[in-house]
Amino acid sequence: MNLFFFLMSILYGIVKFLHIDFVPFTFHGIPVGLWIAYLIVGVVEVVLVFALSMLAVIIIIYVFRKYMADVQNRIGPNRVGIWGTLQLIADVFKLIQKQDIIPTSADRTAYRVAPYIVFTPVILGFILIPFGNVSILNLMVVNFNYTILFLIAFMTIAPVGEIIGGLASHNKFSLYGALRSAAQDMGFEVPMLISLIGVIILAGSYSANDIVTAQRFIPFIIPEILGFIVFFLAMIGRQSIPPFDLPESGSELVSGFSTEYSGMRYGIFYMGNFGFMALAAFVVAVVYLGGWEGPVFPGTIWLIVKGAVFIFIFLLTWISLGRVRIDQLLQMGWKYLLPLSIINLLISAGLALYLGGVF
C-alpha cells in the first residue's frame, strides 16, 4: 500500500468519525469532494517530506560542524541550545534579518530564482526515495515505474541553478564559477548515468522500489563494484564538496557562483548543498547497498544507517582533502570514470545475460 492511500484512509476515517463526510460530494457529476480529499492528502505529504528533508539538513549540518570541529581541535557550536543544537536555527534567523542585496547590474529575475532551482529539486528528490515497508505500508510518497529516472533528473536540475546564479550575478568570479560548474557536471553526469544503467539492467526495472527488492540477497555493490566507485565519485562531484568544490573554490574564485549572494539567498544555496548531500547518500544506499533491505531491524532504520555511513564518508573527504585542479577533474571524469563505467556496463550486461535469475 502506498503512503498516499494510507493517508487517504486515515483522512477518510477522521472524516467519518467527525460526521463531515464530504468525500462523496459531487457537483454536476464532478467529484469535487474527492478532489478536496486528494488536495488535503497532497498538502500533508508535501509538509511531511519537507519537514523530513529539512530535519535531515539540520542534523547533517550540526553533525558536520561538530565533527569538523572535533577533527580540527575546536569545540564547534556550543552556545545556542543544548550543545549548540539550535545554532543552525539561529543562523537562519540571522540570515533572514539581513538586507537583501542584489547587484545593480545583475539580471534580477534570474538572480532571485537561482537559489530555488538549487533547493527545490532536492526536496522533490526526497519524494522518490523508498524509505521502507512497514508491514503492507510502503513508505514512499509516490511509487511508479520510473522513479529512479526522475530521481536522477531532479539531481541534474540543481547545478543548472548554480549556472544561472553565476551568470546572473554579473561578476567575473561568478562567471568562472558557473563555467566550472557546467564543465564539472558534464564531466560527471555521463559516467554517473552509464554506471546507473548497469544497475537498471540487473534489476530489470526503473523503479527504485524494484531495485531495492532485487538486492534482497546480494547488494549491487558486489557485482557492480566498478559502477559503485564511479557513481560514488560522481556523487561527491555533483555535490560540489571538496575535493571537487570547483564551482565554489573558496580560495581561488572568492566564492565562485555564490560570490554576490548574501543573506537568506546564500543560506538557501547552503541548505540546498547539504540537502543534496543527504539525497545523494540515500540514493547511493538505495541503488548499491540494498536500501531498506536488511535483517532484524525495520527497513527504515537500515536505510538511515546506510545513508549515514555515506554522509560520514562525504564529510570525511570534505575535511581531509584539498581541491583538485579543473584539468585534473575533467581528466578524471572523461578519461577514467567514463571508460570504467562502460566496462561496468558490459560486465553487468554479461551478468544479466548469464545470471539474470539471481537478482
Partner 1 sequence: MEDRVIEINFGPQHPSTHGVLRIKVKLDGEIIVDAQPVIGYLHRNAEKLAEMGSYPKGMIYIDRLDYVAALNMELGYVLAVENLMDVQVPERAQWIRMLMVELNREASHLIWLGTHGLDMGMLTPFFYCFRERERILRIFDEITGSRLLYNYFAIGGVYSDITPKAIEMIKAWTDDFGSKLEEIQSILGKSYIYVSRTKGVGVLTAEDILSYGVTGPMQRASGIKRDVRKNSPYLYYDRINFDVPSRTEGDVYARFLVRIEEMRQSIRIVKQVLDKLPQGDFYNKKYSKPMLVRLKTTGESYVPTESPKGEFGIHLIGDGSSIPYRVRIRSPSFANLSSIPTMLKGYKIADLTAAVSSIDPVFGEVDR
The rounded distance, in Å, linking the Cα atoms of 144 and 127 is: 12
Mask of contacts with partner 1, 293-322, x by CB under 8 A? --------------------------xxxx
- DSSP class of residue 323 equals P
Cα-based distances in Å from 86 to 71, 82, 272, 293: 21, 8, 19, 33
Which region among 68-76, 103-111, 205-213, 265-273 touches partner 1 (by CB under 8 A)? 68-76
Q: How far is the CB of 190 from partner 1 (least distance, A)?
A: 21
Extract the C-alpha cell encoding 242.
Answer: 571538496
Residues 144-173 that bind partner 1 (CB under 8 A): 172-173
User: Judged by CB, which is closer to partner 1: 295, or 322?
Assistant: 322
Q: What's the residue count for the chain?
A: 359
From candidates 18, 27, 251, 354, binder to partner 1 by CB under 8 A: 251
Query: How many C-beta atoms lie closer than 10 Å to residue 100's C-beta?
Result: 10
- DSSP class of residue 356 equals G
Whether the Cβ atoms of residue 233 and residue 199 lie closer than 8 Å to each other: no
Residue 189 within binding range of partner 1, rule CB under 8 A: no
Which region among 93-101, 103-111, 280-288, 326-334 touches partner 1 (by CB under 8 A)? 326-334
Q: How far is the CB of 170 from partner 1 (least distance, A)?
A: 13
Which region among 36-44, 64-72, 190-198, 278-286 touches partner 1 (by CB under 8 A)? 64-72
CA-closest candidate to residue 116, choices 171, 77, 168: 168
Q: How far is the CB of 196 from partner 1 (least distance, A)?
A: 26
The rounded distance, in Å, linking the Cα atoms of 127 and 106 is: 34
Residue 328 within binding range of partner 1, rule CB under 8 A: yes
Which region among 67-75, 133-141, 211-219, 220-228 touches partner 1 (by CB under 8 A)? 67-75
Whether the Cβ atoms of residue 123 and residue 50 lie closer than 8 Å to each other: yes
Query: How many C-beta atoms lie closer than 10 Å to residue 28's C-beta?
Result: 5
User: Judged by CB, which is closer to partner 1: 145, or 320?
Assistant: 320
Residues 252-271 that bind partner 1 (CB under 8 A): 252-254
Whether the Cβ atoms of residue 257 and residue 248 lie closer than 8 Å to each other: yes
Cα-based distances in Å from 347 to 152, 226, 329, 351: 22, 9, 26, 6
Whether the Cβ atoms of residue 336 and residue 329 lie closer than 8 Å to each other: no
Q: How far is the CB of 324 from partner 1 (least distance, A)?
A: 5
Residue 104 within binding range of partner 1, rule CB under 8 A: no
- DSSP class of residue 325 equals P
Residues 71-90 that bind partner 1 (CB under 8 A): 71-74
From candidates 15, 90, 113, 324, binder to partner 1 by CB under 8 A: 324
Size of the site for partner 1 (CB under 8 A): 27
Residues 220-249 that bind partner 1 (CB under 8 A): 242-243, 245, 249
- Contacting positions for partner 1 (CB under 8 A): 68, 71-74, 172-173, 176, 242-243, 245, 249-254, 319-328
